[in-house]
Amino acid sequence: MAIRTNPTQAVSLLLKSMRKVEKDEDLNDLKSDLIKIEDLFAKVKRNEEELLDTLATLNGYLHSSDRMKLRKKKEDIRKRIGDLTKNLLPDDAPRSNKGFPQSSSKTFQNEKLNKRKVDHRALFWSQLQDLEMLRADYNYLFDPCTRQCFHSLSLFPENAVIRKWNTIYWWFGIGFIKRMQKEGEQVFDELLKGNLIVPHGNGNCPIVKKFEVNPSIRHKFLSPLLQNENQLCGIYSQMITSSHHENHAEHVSKLGCLALDQRKVKLSAVNGFKSNHWRSVFNVGASYLNFGPQWLAKMEKLEVLHLGRWQDSALHHIEVESEEFLKELRDQKSLKYLNLRGISRIYNLPPTIVKLERLEILDLKACHNLETLPNDIAPLKNLRHLDLSQCYLLERMPNGIEKLTNLQVLKGFVIGSARMTPCRLSDLSNLKKLERLSIHIGIEAMIQEHKFESLKELLELKHLKISWGVFGTKHSDIQILFPSSLVKLHLEGFPGQKLPEWLKPSKLHERLNELYIIGGKLESIDHGENNKHWPMEIVRLKYLNRLNVDETKLKVWFPALNYAEIRKVQNHSYFEWSNIS
């Protein structure tokens, strides 16, 4: 935790750090000085920035390997802390000879002084939140890559709820990060730790999937970017109206990214936006999209085309006037990111889409009108992320999925009849880099014995979702073997009434940390294995109207449990438990 991001704990953090070095250095006098200012922040009136700078400097010395500099600067730091303390105390507060506050029992002896203490504390926190804390959190971004990723969030409207992985894919698409998984999560965690983004919801669950930009941070640091086209992330410009005059449009087009923020947008050179300038197009708020003839065909530098939904709510409607624009993508040799998520009136993905050999992300989730894909998508050899989930009208899965050996994410793999699923589940064992996989078992699914056991060969697989769209108890008895790398298991619509053998503790690896069971006919989660316990720390049981959950047994079955969410089961409409302090 940075010293300047939580000043009320600054002294305790420094004292903790001192314990690591005090064996080699004589720091008793410095420690004594710090102890005397433990109540200092409750009485701060002004000049808090300089004091926090001094404490931050001390923190840097304590964490550096340069002990000589710490020795040399110790007395100077003591003097600066003493001098600054005098300026920070209220004018009428008693002071000791060294400029440190007296003990609380002597200083605050009547109700009037206690009221003053509260007033100064409130004033301090108000000023700190508006200035110091925000500036410290913002300055926390010492890495240019992290700062650039944070600036890109100015693209989203105020108070927007944003999904973590949608954002990471966006950063990857525009080239801010090179690796989606490791680097993307690292940047996200840095923004979260720096308080620049905050988890959406009550914050009880340790896994953050949705977030918002810290509103105070946004007002102080991102809003000015939106008013200065030359500074906006270094790349962004908003299409405000079709009345943008030509000089303005020509100037901002050099920035490389066109953000669509009007409800109805027609993309045409008539608007003054010469399409051959743009590297990236991002749909911020458009619900109706129309493309002028050859507008996309002329985009020689296009790398990112994000026309689909980024919004958390599936109710956000987007439609295109015609799907003809997709045919103009055939010559986009630089395109590596195509997002059509949630767009209606797209019925076919043209065969020419496989000519996009540099394409790495293809997101077609919730394209509810989509009926056909190219027969063979094997030419998309660089594809890393393919999402076909919630495309309920797709007639068949395409050939060649098993040849996409760079795939890290595959969502929406449907198991149907042999005619509809030419790629078998066992073929996915070729995808050695696959980390996230979702499988849907269709009504007409034909599953050969032991086919789900091939999942154990996906040695990099961390997240697995299996959903059942069948009636009765069909396919509730399939045999599944999980890879030892699996961290999260999500079961949706499981048709069985009892726990399957493959879900009992004796069949699971210790690394499995999350278990979600959503919907279905399950009546009990009592596994019946004495002295065996599930390894999961996070459990969600939702929409299981036949399941009776005894919360007292949860801790017995899940001794490592840190978070549980129980929603709409037989005996609970909602129950949440968290072990996070």
**More confident call, 366 vs 246:** 366
Res. 540: pLDDT tops 60: yes
Average pLDDT (537-544) is 95
Phi and psi at residue 19, to the nearest 5°: -60, -25
Higher-scoring residue by pLDDT: 533, 7: 533
pLDDT tens-digit readout, 286-338: 999 998 888 888 888 889 999 999 987 878 899 999 898 999 898 888 999 99
| 270/239: higher pLDDT | 270
Report pLDDT for 206. Answer: 87
**CA distance readout (Å), 455 to 361, 412, 435:** 23, 16, 12
Instruction: Indicate whether this model's pTM tops 0.75.
Output: no
Dihedral sign for Cα atoms in the order 402, 403, 407, 412 = negative
pLDDT value of residue 132 = 54
Q: How far apart are CA 276 and CA 271, in angstroms?
A: 14
Q: Which of 36-45, 226-235, 554-563 is the most confident on average?
A: 554-563
Q: What is the pLDDT of residue 231?
A: 40
Q: Per DSSP, what are the bridge partners of residue 409?
A: 385, 436
pLDDT for the residue 420 = 66
Q: Is the dihedral of CA 531, 534, 538, 543 positive or negative?
A: negative
Instruction: Identify which has the larger pLDDT, 134 or 288.
Output: 288
Specify the higher pLDDT residue, 574 or 107. Answer: 574
Mean pLDDT throughout 355-376?
Answer: 93
Stretch (H or E) spanning 121: helix 111-127
pLDDT of residue 565: 93
Q: How confident is the model at residue 225 (pLDDT cuts 50, 70, 90)?
A: low
- Confidence bin at 465 (pLDDT 50/70/90): very high
- Mean pLDDT, range 15-43, rounded to an integer: 65
Residues above pLDDT 90, as percent of the chain: 34
For residue 214, pLDDT beyond 50? yes
pLDDT reading at 270 higher than 60: yes
Closest CA to 318 of 327, 308, 303, 304: 308
Local confidence band at 105 (pLDDT 50, 70, 90 cut-offs)? very low
pLDDT above 90 for 431: yes
**Predicted pLDDT at 13:** 65
Mean per-residue pLDDT over the chain, rounded: 78
Superfamily of domain 258-372: Ribonuclease Inhibitor (3.80.10.10)
What are φ and ψ of residue 426, in 5° steps? -65, -25
| Closest residue by Cα to residue 530 from 556, 492, 508, 548 | 556
Q: What is the pLDDT of residue 217?
A: 77
pLDDT for residue 407 = 96
User: Which of 231-235, 261-265, 366-370, 450-454 is the most confident on average?
Assistant: 366-370
- Can you tell me the distance from the alpha carbon of 561 to that of 244, in angstroms, rounded to the nearest whole number? 56
The mean pLDDT value for 153-157 works out to 85
- Confidence tier at 552 by pLDDT (50, 70, 90): confident
**383 pLDDT more than 50:** yes
* Residue 265 banded pLDDT, cuts 50, 70, 90: confident
Domain ranges of the chain: 3-139, 144-224, 258-372, 487-581
Contact 380, 402 (CB under 8 A): no
Residue 114 banded pLDDT, cuts 50, 70, 90? very low
Q: Domain 144-224 is of which CATH architecture?
A: Orthogonal Bundle (1.10)
**Cα 324 to Cα 295: distance, rounded to the nearest angstrom:** 11
User: Hey, what amino acid is at 113?
Assistant: L
Ranges 240-254, 294-308, 338-352: which has the least confidence: 240-254
pLDDT computed for residue 288 by the predictor: 93
% of the chain at pLDDT higher than 70: 71
Residue, of 94 and 330, whose pLDDT is higher? 330
Mean pLDDT of 194-203: 85
- 408-417: per-residue pLDDT in tens? 999 999 887 7
Q: How far apart are CA 286 and CA 289, in angstroms?
A: 7
Q: Is the pLDDT of residue 143 over 50?
A: yes
Q: Report how far residue 457's alpha carbon sits from residue 432's, in angstroms, rounded to the nearest whole number.
A: 8
